[in-house]
A and B are shown apart, each in its own frame.
Chain A
Amino acid sequence: MLIRTLAVLLLCSASAHAQTEIQWWHSMGGALGEKVNDIAAKFNASQKDYKLVPVYKGQYPESMTAAIAAFRAGNAPHILQVFEVGTATMMAAKGAVVPVAKVMADAGEPFDPKAYLPTVAGYYTDLKGNMLSFPFNSSSALFYTNDDVLKKAGIAAPKTWKEVRAAADKLKAAGQQCVYTTAWPSWVHIENFSAWHNVPIGTKQNGMGGFDTQFTINTPLHVRHLAMLGEMAKKGQFTYAGRTNQGDAKFTSGECPLFTGSASAQAAIKKSAKFHWTAHFLPYHDDVKAAPQNSIIGGASLWVMGGKKPVDYKGVAKFFAFLSRPEVQMDFHTSTGYVPVTLAAYQLTKKSGFYEQNPGAEITIKELTNKAPTENSKGLRFGNFVQGREVIEEEMEAVFAGRKEAKAALDDAVKRGNEILRKFEATARN
């Protein structure tokens, strides 16, 4: 009898201490990584059953490769942070991933997809309205101006591309070495450009409607825009900086007074820019009727990997519910500059008066929600877009270097991009 009681007691205490570990692989380095650890610590303190273990696995492509290798070897993490261009690849991997909507429903966690910012959640939602992955860190593309330089030249901040060009002419004439630069050329000048002007990037609702999509980025509007950038480059008004965020430094150092880049560049600019600056909506072509529409996001979402125990998924669902709490979102939003993913968190931040002190923090949300998103501005979903974006950037570079006409470059980008899409379609279908 005594032994039996002891055994029961032992069992009880064992189960009380047995926490289920949830592995979370992410790509947030430096200060952002500390924030991730902070979120995990708060989640772990908020309940006793699960222990969330965040692991930094290198930059986005590296952590995705690591997770794919781990999945093939049968020990993938529970949660994987994947950048937005990897969305179609993850989505097509049925069996390797579990849709977030299903994880939440199975665990019985309250979950309302309408509570999330439409332009943010829409990017990661299928056509039936099921959220596939949990939007974690989202930003958008913004236009930055060095106000000291503009003031000296007597120029108001440009709103349209026509005004940007007029400002560039003036600044160049005044002896400004570098006038305009950009980060993320494809994301800003093709992807966001298309959404902002309400024109499609690809057929089938930018690929969201199916894998049999084709790129449509060689329309007259796209050609005209790229030709304009090529011409500006030739005149020395546009300095190309590179395919990722190399342009940030050119603006922050004061070298180039006009700059388009990610909203997430604000933290670094705030820290090191020695001049007055403002973040604005992206410029647009004012003869395009629909412009400006709304911009699209960049960033990453959290995917739930398949093949785990049901109890593990309960923990994942608990974590996502925790992550959706307005106060958690507000903390993440205000400390990192990424947009809050729920409307409630946005309202809470508004009420707190944060935006009065940091007007730059709200502009991203305003730009993303400028109008109700259309089929062209909800987001995009192209298979193997890591390669696809590279192809687009290669062709853009040929135009910036003055070696190719904009029309030929975009025709080639469409042709080469479609080959990648067809290959992906073949792997996704069989």
Chain B
Amino acid sequence: MEKRVVFRSAWLPYALLAPQIAITIVFFFVPAGQAAWYSFQLQDAFGLRSEFVGLQNFEALFASPQYLQSFRTTAVFSVLVAGCGIAIALLLATMADRVLRGALAYRTLLIWPYAVAPAVAGVLWAFLFAPSIGIVTYFLRRFGVDWNWIIHGDQAMLLIVIASVWKQISYNFLFFLAGLQSIPRSLIEAAAIDGAGPARRFWTIVFPLLSPTTFFLLVVNIVYAFFDTFGVIDATTQGGPATDTQILVYKVYYDGVKAADLGGSSAQSVILMIIVIVLTALQFRFVEKKVQY
């Protein structure tokens, strides 16, 4: 039985929607449209001269091996961030769900990092892993590990993945915990009586019932890795060493904000926009089929 609100007035529903639509238009559609328009232009920093150049900005991007490399970097980065973020959060949530005493304290502590700004999270981890003064570096050196992410690309990648995952785990954890708590105890108990061990109970009952949550988090985490992590990167590696941690959104930010190359930066953001639209559509089309609501 679906409840429907019926408006008698012709304009009232639109009036009620207007603020939301206005905000969406002003803050989302107008800038996105402007970016799309700029991406076909060649412009100097001050906007004194601009010239319509068609697809030239895009051609330049795809002719650059560094830009193509940045796709691979972004793919590796987002798979790692989304994968690790979801897996660790799921593990923590299942553990926290079983805790009987002091559960609230555990949960609060696990949710804490979400309140930390991305840039601060980046700086925090950069300090811990700082090449010469970091405390983690100190211990790693004792084990004979040459830790210097300023020069080793894989270590730099590891650092930004750790910082980004750490920041996102709380969010994932909250959703998983809520999802776990809504699974009826009777189902799990019935399976236990039938002789299913904890692992089997998790994979055949809990995990499928969590699939809507997992799917939702997959979409959110991919979008997070694509867009929200540039604060972490700007505060730590700034895309380096060489171009090893230069993910797409960081390049957009750098070229547009720091280097004042509006055409190139806009072209990149249009490409990024398309990627995220396609990715989300794909997820809804294929992954969602396997989701049991």
Interface residues of A (CB under 8 A from B): 61, 64-65, 68, 71-72, 89, 92-96, 178, 233, 239-243, 246, 250, 253, 255, 384, 386-387, 390, 393-395, 397-398, 400-401, 403, 416, 419, 423, 426-428, 430
Contacts and interface: CB of A to CB of B under 8 A. Distances in A.
A92 B255 contact: no
Contacts of B51: 426-427, 430
B261 interface: yes
6 contacts: A65-B260, A68-B260, A71-B46, A397-B151, A397-B241, A401-B152
A239 to B, nearest CB: 8
Interface string B263-275: 0100000000000
B242 A92 contact: no
B259 A68 contact: no
Contacts of A253: 132-133
Given A397-B241, A398-B242, 9 more contacts: A61-B258, A89-B44, A240-B241, A243-B238, A243-B240, A386-B258, A423-B261, A423-B264, A427-B51
Contacts of A390: 254, 259
Contacts of B132: 178, 250, 253, 255
Contacts of B264: 423
Contacts of A250: 132
| Chain A CB within 10 A, most for which of B46, B132, B257 | B46
Contacts, number: 96
B260 A430 contact: no
Contact of A397 (B42, B133, B240, B260): B240
Contacts of A64: 260
B150 A242 contact: yes
B194 to A, nearest CB: 57
B60 interface: yes
Contacts of B199: none
Contacts of B148: 239-240
A419 B261 CA distance: 13
Contact of A386 (B48, B240, B260): B260
A87 B135 CA distance: 41
B153 A93 contact: no
Contacts of B153: 401
What are the nearest 9 A-B pairs in CB distance? A397-B241, A427-B44, A96-B46, A386-B259, A61-B258, A93-B46, A387-B259, A398-B242, A397-B242
B43 interface: yes
A395 B46 CA distance: 29
A394 B243 contact: yes
A95 B49 CA distance: 10
A122 B257 CA distance: 28
Contact of A419 (B42, B60, B152, B240): B60
Contact of B261 (A233, A240, A384, A393): A384
Contact of A430 (B49, B66, B241): B49
A394 B240 contact: yes
Contacts of A242: 150, 240
Given A397-B242, A426-B42, A246 B258 contact: no
Nearest to A399: B242
A68 B48 CA distance: 11
Nearest to A243: B240
A72 B50 CA distance: 13
A416 B66 contact: yes
B261 A387 contact: yes
A233 B150 CA distance: 13
A92 B48 CA distance: 10
A384 B259 CA distance: 7
Contacts of B255: 387
Contacts of A401: 151-153, 241-242
Contacts of B240: 242-243, 393-394, 397
Interface string B119-147: 00000000000011100000000000000
A307 to B, nearest CB: 11
A386 B254 CA distance: 10
A375 B152 CA distance: 38
B205 interface: no
A94 B45 CA distance: 11
B44 A72 contact: no
B102 interface: no
Nearest to B254: A390
Interface in B3-60: 42-49, 51, 60
Given A384-B259, A397-B151, A89 B242 contact: no
B242 A394 contact: yes
Given A65-B258, A394-B240, A401-B152, A89 B45 contact: yes
Contacts of B133: 253
A150 B264 CA distance: 49
A246 B260 CA distance: 25
B151 A89 contact: no
Contact of A240 (B45, B66, B150): B150
A403 B264 CA distance: 28
Contacts of B152: 401
Contacts of A426: 42, 51
A426 to B, nearest CB: 6
A416 B69 CA distance: 14
Nearest to A383: B44
| Chain A CB within 10 A, most for which of B42, B255, B259, B264 | B259
| Chain B CB within 10 A, most for which of A89, A95, A233 | A89
A426 B150 CA distance: 35
B39 to A, nearest CB: 14
Contacts of B60: 419, 423
B27 to A, nearest CB: 17
A129 to B, nearest CB: 25
Contacts of A246: 150
A401 to B, nearest CB: 5
A65 to B, nearest CB: 6
A61 B47 CA distance: 17
B62 to A, nearest CB: 13
A395 B244 CA distance: 11
A95 B243 contact: no
B176 to A, nearest CB: 38
A319 B238 CA distance: 37
A274 to B, nearest CB: 16
Contacts of A95: 46, 48
B144 to A, nearest CB: 14
